[in-house]
Amino acid sequence: MKSFRDYKAEERRNYITLSSGEYYPDILVDACKLYSPVLTIFSELLHSSESSIALFKNICKTPTQWMRIQLCRVFRKYCSPETPVEMLKKSSQVIKICNEFGEGFRPINIIQERFDSRPFPDEALCAVLWEYKDRGQKGYDLTEKFFDIIESTFSDVIIWGPRRSGADIQPISFWKDYPNARRPLDFVISSPDKSVIYAVGLARYDGDRGGAQEDDRTGGYKNCADEILDYVKSHNLHTKVIFVNDGPGLLLGSMWEDYSIIEERYKDECIVTTLRMIPERISKEWLLGR
Protein backbone atom coordinates (compact mmCIF):
# COMPACT_ATOMS: atom_id res chain seq x y z
CA MET A 1 0.00 0.00 0.00
CA LYS A 2 1.37 3.42 -0.94
CA SER A 3 2.08 5.76 1.95
CA PHE A 4 1.09 9.42 1.96
CA ARG A 5 4.74 10.31 1.33
CA ASP A 6 4.93 7.99 -1.69
CA TYR A 7 2.85 10.42 -3.73
CA LYS A 8 5.49 12.53 -5.47
CA ALA A 9 5.27 16.30 -5.72
CA GLU A 10 4.56 16.28 -9.45
CA GLU A 11 1.53 13.97 -9.08
CA ARG A 12 0.00 15.29 -5.86
CA ARG A 13 -2.28 17.76 -7.57
CA ASN A 14 -3.96 14.84 -9.34
CA TYR A 15 -5.10 13.49 -5.96
CA ILE A 16 -6.61 16.74 -4.70
CA THR A 17 -10.31 17.53 -5.02
CA LEU A 18 -10.65 21.16 -6.08
CA SER A 19 -13.92 22.97 -5.38
CA SER A 20 -14.92 25.52 -7.98
CA GLY A 21 -15.11 29.10 -6.82
CA GLU A 22 -17.18 32.11 -7.84
CA TYR A 23 -16.07 35.07 -9.91
CA TYR A 24 -16.11 38.73 -8.95
CA PRO A 25 -18.01 40.90 -9.80
CA ASP A 26 -20.44 38.26 -11.11
CA ILE A 27 -21.57 37.50 -7.55
CA LEU A 28 -22.79 41.03 -6.86
CA VAL A 29 -26.26 40.67 -8.37
CA ASP A 30 -27.09 37.63 -6.24
CA ALA A 31 -25.28 39.04 -3.19
CA CYS A 32 -27.28 42.26 -3.27
CA LYS A 33 -30.51 40.35 -3.78
CA LEU A 34 -29.79 38.11 -0.78
CA TYR A 35 -28.55 40.78 1.64
CA SER A 36 -30.68 43.81 0.74
CA PRO A 37 -33.38 42.71 3.25
CA VAL A 38 -30.66 42.44 5.91
CA LEU A 39 -29.51 46.00 5.24
CA THR A 40 -33.11 47.23 5.23
CA ILE A 41 -33.78 45.78 8.70
CA PHE A 42 -30.40 47.00 9.97
CA SER A 43 -31.27 50.52 8.77
CA GLU A 44 -34.64 50.41 10.56
CA LEU A 45 -33.06 49.26 13.83
CA LEU A 46 -30.18 51.70 13.46
CA HIS A 47 -32.42 54.72 13.09
CA SER A 48 -34.79 53.69 15.88
CA SER A 49 -32.12 52.93 18.51
CA GLU A 50 -30.95 55.58 20.97
CA SER A 51 -27.45 54.11 21.42
CA SER A 52 -25.09 51.50 20.01
CA ILE A 53 -25.80 49.20 22.94
CA ALA A 54 -29.53 49.58 22.34
CA LEU A 55 -28.95 48.79 18.64
CA PHE A 56 -27.14 45.59 19.54
CA LYS A 57 -29.85 44.54 22.00
CA ASN A 58 -32.53 45.22 19.39
CA ILE A 59 -30.64 43.12 16.83
CA CYS A 60 -30.46 40.24 19.32
CA LYS A 61 -34.26 40.27 19.67
CA THR A 62 -34.60 39.30 16.00
CA PRO A 63 -36.43 35.94 16.12
CA THR A 64 -35.02 34.37 12.94
CA GLN A 65 -31.55 32.97 13.57
CA TRP A 66 -30.22 33.49 10.04
CA MET A 67 -31.33 37.12 9.97
CA ARG A 68 -29.97 37.75 13.48
CA ILE A 69 -26.55 36.40 12.52
CA GLN A 70 -26.40 38.56 9.39
CA LEU A 71 -27.41 41.66 11.34
CA CYS A 72 -24.70 40.88 13.91
CA ARG A 73 -22.15 40.66 11.13
CA VAL A 74 -23.19 44.08 9.82
CA PHE A 75 -23.11 45.43 13.38
CA ARG A 76 -19.58 44.12 13.86
CA LYS A 77 -18.37 45.80 10.67
CA TYR A 78 -19.93 49.17 11.51
CA CYS A 79 -19.74 49.27 15.26
CA SER A 80 -17.48 46.76 16.99
CA PRO A 81 -14.83 44.98 14.90
CA GLU A 82 -13.06 43.79 18.06
CA THR A 83 -16.05 41.76 19.29
CA PRO A 84 -15.54 38.03 18.55
CA VAL A 85 -17.89 36.81 15.84
CA GLU A 86 -18.77 33.63 17.74
CA MET A 87 -19.92 35.68 20.73
CA LEU A 88 -22.15 37.81 18.53
CA LYS A 89 -23.93 34.71 17.23
CA LYS A 90 -25.19 33.73 20.69
CA SER A 91 -28.14 35.74 21.96
CA SER A 92 -27.37 34.45 25.46
CA GLN A 93 -24.15 36.49 25.41
CA VAL A 94 -25.87 39.90 25.04
CA ILE A 95 -25.22 41.17 28.58
CA LYS A 96 -21.66 39.82 28.60
CA ILE A 97 -20.85 41.50 25.28
CA CYS A 98 -22.36 44.82 26.35
CA ASN A 99 -20.42 44.74 29.65
CA GLU A 100 -17.10 43.75 28.12
CA PHE A 101 -17.19 45.51 24.75
CA GLY A 102 -19.95 48.12 25.05
CA GLU A 103 -17.63 51.00 25.94
CA GLY A 104 -15.79 50.43 22.68
CA PHE A 105 -18.90 50.47 20.50
CA ARG A 106 -18.86 53.24 17.93
CA PRO A 107 -21.31 56.05 18.81
CA ILE A 108 -24.72 55.60 17.23
CA ASN A 109 -24.68 58.96 15.43
CA ILE A 110 -21.43 58.10 13.63
CA ILE A 111 -22.79 54.68 12.58
CA GLN A 112 -25.91 56.37 11.23
CA GLU A 113 -23.82 58.89 9.33
CA ARG A 114 -21.51 56.26 7.83
CA PHE A 115 -24.39 53.92 6.95
CA ASP A 116 -26.38 56.68 5.25
CA SER A 117 -23.35 57.77 3.25
CA ARG A 118 -23.22 54.42 1.45
CA PRO A 119 -25.33 53.51 -1.61
CA PHE A 120 -28.21 51.11 -1.10
CA PRO A 121 -27.72 48.26 -1.41
CA ASP A 122 -24.06 48.59 -0.49
CA GLU A 123 -22.35 46.29 -3.00
CA ALA A 124 -19.10 46.23 -1.04
CA LEU A 125 -20.79 45.09 2.16
CA CYS A 126 -22.96 42.57 0.33
CA ALA A 127 -19.81 41.08 -1.22
CA VAL A 128 -18.24 40.79 2.24
CA LEU A 129 -21.33 39.06 3.63
CA TRP A 130 -21.41 36.74 0.60
CA GLU A 131 -18.00 35.40 1.65
CA TYR A 132 -19.63 33.97 4.78
CA LYS A 133 -22.45 32.28 2.86
CA ASP A 134 -20.72 28.99 2.03
CA ARG A 135 -18.16 28.97 4.83
CA GLY A 136 -17.80 25.38 6.00
CA GLN A 137 -19.66 23.94 2.99
CA LYS A 138 -16.51 22.45 1.44
CA GLY A 139 -15.89 20.56 4.69
CA TYR A 140 -19.49 19.31 4.72
CA ASP A 141 -19.18 18.21 1.08
CA LEU A 142 -15.97 16.35 1.89
CA THR A 143 -17.52 14.44 4.80
CA GLU A 144 -20.62 13.53 2.78
CA LYS A 145 -18.54 12.19 -0.12
CA PHE A 146 -16.39 10.18 2.29
CA PHE A 147 -19.52 8.60 3.80
CA ASP A 148 -20.75 7.74 0.28
CA ILE A 149 -17.44 6.11 -0.66
CA ILE A 150 -17.26 3.99 2.50
CA GLU A 151 -20.89 2.88 2.17
CA SER A 152 -20.51 1.92 -1.49
CA THR A 153 -17.13 0.20 -1.05
CA PHE A 154 -17.51 -1.80 2.17
CA SER A 155 -20.67 -3.84 2.61
CA ASP A 156 -19.72 -5.37 6.00
CA VAL A 157 -19.41 -2.07 7.91
CA ILE A 158 -21.42 1.03 8.70
CA ILE A 159 -20.20 4.60 9.03
CA TRP A 160 -21.89 7.01 11.42
CA GLY A 161 -21.55 10.57 12.61
CA PRO A 162 -22.64 13.96 11.25
CA ARG A 163 -22.85 13.39 7.50
CA ARG A 164 -22.76 17.15 6.94
CA SER A 165 -23.43 19.56 9.81
CA GLY A 166 -24.23 18.37 13.30
CA ALA A 167 -22.71 17.60 16.65
CA ASP A 168 -19.38 15.76 16.72
CA ILE A 169 -19.18 12.25 18.14
CA GLN A 170 -17.28 11.74 21.40
CA PRO A 171 -15.46 8.42 21.94
CA ILE A 172 -16.96 8.26 25.44
CA SER A 173 -20.32 7.55 23.78
CA PHE A 174 -19.07 4.09 22.74
CA TRP A 175 -15.95 3.63 24.93
CA LYS A 176 -17.45 4.36 28.34
CA ASP A 177 -14.11 4.70 30.15
CA TYR A 178 -12.44 6.89 27.51
CA PRO A 179 -10.34 9.46 29.44
CA ASN A 180 -11.24 12.58 27.42
CA ALA A 181 -14.95 13.38 27.36
CA ARG A 182 -14.38 16.30 24.97
CA ARG A 183 -12.47 14.54 22.18
CA PRO A 184 -14.38 15.30 18.93
CA LEU A 185 -14.66 12.85 16.05
CA ASP A 186 -16.26 13.36 12.64
CA PHE A 187 -16.99 9.71 11.89
CA VAL A 188 -16.89 6.17 13.24
CA ILE A 189 -16.65 3.03 11.09
CA SER A 190 -17.94 -0.08 12.86
CA SER A 191 -19.62 -3.44 12.54
CA PRO A 192 -23.35 -3.14 11.72
CA ASP A 193 -24.30 -3.64 15.38
CA LYS A 194 -21.64 -1.09 16.47
CA SER A 195 -20.04 -3.62 18.80
CA VAL A 196 -16.68 -3.49 17.01
CA ILE A 197 -15.12 -0.13 16.17
CA TYR A 198 -12.88 -0.52 13.13
CA ALA A 199 -11.83 3.10 12.64
CA VAL A 200 -12.48 6.63 13.86
CA GLY A 201 -11.32 9.90 12.46
CA LEU A 202 -11.62 13.46 11.27
CA ALA A 203 -12.39 15.01 7.88
CA ARG A 204 -11.14 18.49 6.96
CA TYR A 205 -10.98 20.59 3.79
CA ASP A 206 -7.79 22.64 3.55
CA GLY A 207 -8.48 25.61 1.32
CA ASP A 208 -5.46 27.85 1.65
CA ARG A 209 -4.01 27.07 5.05
CA GLY A 210 -0.55 28.18 6.11
CA GLY A 211 1.55 29.45 8.99
CA ALA A 212 0.02 29.08 12.44
CA GLN A 213 -3.14 27.47 11.00
CA GLU A 214 -0.96 24.81 9.41
CA ASP A 215 0.78 24.10 12.71
CA ASP A 216 -2.54 23.98 14.60
CA ARG A 217 -4.00 21.39 12.22
CA THR A 218 -1.06 19.00 12.22
CA GLY A 219 -0.44 19.44 15.95
CA GLY A 220 -4.10 18.69 16.65
CA TYR A 221 -3.94 15.56 14.50
CA LYS A 222 -0.85 14.29 16.31
CA ASN A 223 -2.52 14.80 19.70
CA CYS A 224 -5.71 13.11 18.50
CA ALA A 225 -3.85 10.06 17.15
CA ASP A 226 -1.67 9.81 20.28
CA GLU A 227 -4.66 9.88 22.59
CA ILE A 228 -6.87 7.47 20.66
CA LEU A 229 -4.15 4.92 19.87
CA ASP A 230 -2.87 4.98 23.45
CA TYR A 231 -6.37 4.04 24.57
CA VAL A 232 -6.74 1.42 21.82
CA LYS A 233 -3.47 -0.30 22.74
CA SER A 234 -4.12 -0.19 26.48
CA HIS A 235 -7.46 -1.96 25.92
CA ASN A 236 -6.14 -4.44 23.35
CA LEU A 237 -8.41 -3.05 20.64
CA HIS A 238 -7.64 -2.87 16.94
CA THR A 239 -9.25 0.44 16.00
CA LYS A 240 -7.50 2.47 13.29
CA VAL A 241 -7.37 6.25 12.87
CA ILE A 242 -8.22 7.89 9.54
CA PHE A 243 -7.65 11.55 8.74
CA VAL A 244 -9.45 12.54 5.55
CA ASN A 245 -7.98 15.75 4.16
CA ASP A 246 -8.44 17.40 0.82
CA GLY A 247 -8.10 20.72 -0.93
CA PRO A 248 -5.31 22.88 -2.39
CA GLY A 249 -4.01 23.73 1.08
CA LEU A 250 -2.37 20.30 1.14
CA LEU A 251 0.04 21.52 -1.53
CA LEU A 252 1.14 24.58 0.44
CA GLY A 253 4.00 24.93 2.87
CA SER A 254 4.91 21.82 4.83
CA MET A 255 1.43 20.28 5.03
CA TRP A 256 2.22 17.18 2.97
CA GLU A 257 5.44 16.55 4.88
CA ASP A 258 3.76 17.07 8.24
CA TYR A 259 0.94 14.66 7.39
CA SER A 260 3.48 12.12 6.16
CA ILE A 261 5.29 12.28 9.51
CA ILE A 262 2.03 11.76 11.42
CA GLU A 263 1.19 8.70 9.35
CA GLU A 264 4.70 7.28 9.78
CA ARG A 265 4.51 7.63 13.57
CA TYR A 266 1.74 5.02 13.63
CA LYS A 267 2.69 2.42 11.04
CA ASP A 268 -0.41 0.52 9.85
CA GLU A 269 -2.57 2.17 12.55
CA CYS A 270 -3.16 5.60 11.03
CA ILE A 271 -3.80 6.81 7.48
CA VAL A 272 -3.98 10.33 6.07
CA THR A 273 -5.86 10.29 2.77
CA THR A 274 -7.62 12.44 0.21
CA LEU A 275 -10.87 11.26 -1.38
CA ARG A 276 -9.12 10.23 -4.58
CA MET A 277 -6.56 8.13 -2.70
CA ILE A 278 -9.13 6.01 -0.88
CA PRO A 279 -9.47 3.21 -3.50
CA GLU A 280 -5.73 2.50 -3.39
CA ARG A 281 -5.14 3.24 0.29
CA ILE A 282 -8.06 1.97 2.39
CA SER A 283 -8.56 -1.72 1.75
CA LYS A 284 -10.90 -4.14 3.46
CA GLU A 285 -7.87 -6.02 4.75
CA TRP A 286 -6.41 -2.90 6.36
CA LEU A 287 -9.71 -1.64 7.75
CA LEU A 288 -10.84 -4.95 9.28
CA GLY A 289 -7.40 -6.40 9.88
CA ARG A 290 -5.89 -6.92 13.31
Residues 189 and 154 in one domain: yes
Total domains, the chain: 2
Nearest to 123 by CA among 31, 37, 43, 22: 31
* Residue 8 maps to a domain: no
Q: What average pLDDT does this structure show over 59-73?
A: 91
* Residue 246 maps to a domain: yes
Residues 94 and 208 in one domain: no
* Residue 71 maps to a domain: yes
Provide the CATH number for the domain around residue 176. Answer: 3.40.1560
**Residue count of the chain:** 290
Q: What digits encode the pLDDT tens for the residues 21-43?
A: 688 899 999 999 999 999 999 99
- Residue 45 near residue 55, CB atoms below 8 Å: yes
* Residue 9 maps to a domain: no
Query: E strands, 126-196, where?
Result: 158-160, 187-190
According to the 3-state scheme, what is the secondary structure of 80-136? Answer: CCCCCHHHHCCHHHHHHHHHHHHHHCCCHHHHHHHHHCCCCCCHHHHHHHHHHHCCC
Residues 153 and 101 in one domain: no
Give the pLDDT of residue 79: 93
Residues 284 and 147 in one domain: yes
Q: What digits encode the pLDDT tens for the residues 268-280?
A: 899 999 999 999 9
Helix 52-60 to helix 94-101 angle (10° resolution) is 160
Q: What average pLDDT does this structure show over 63-88?
A: 87
Give the domain range for residue 75: 28-133
pLDDT at 213 over 70: no
Residues 116 and 141 in one domain: no
pLDDT at 87 over 80: no
* Residue 147 maps to a domain: yes
* pLDDT above 70 coverage of the chain, percent: 93
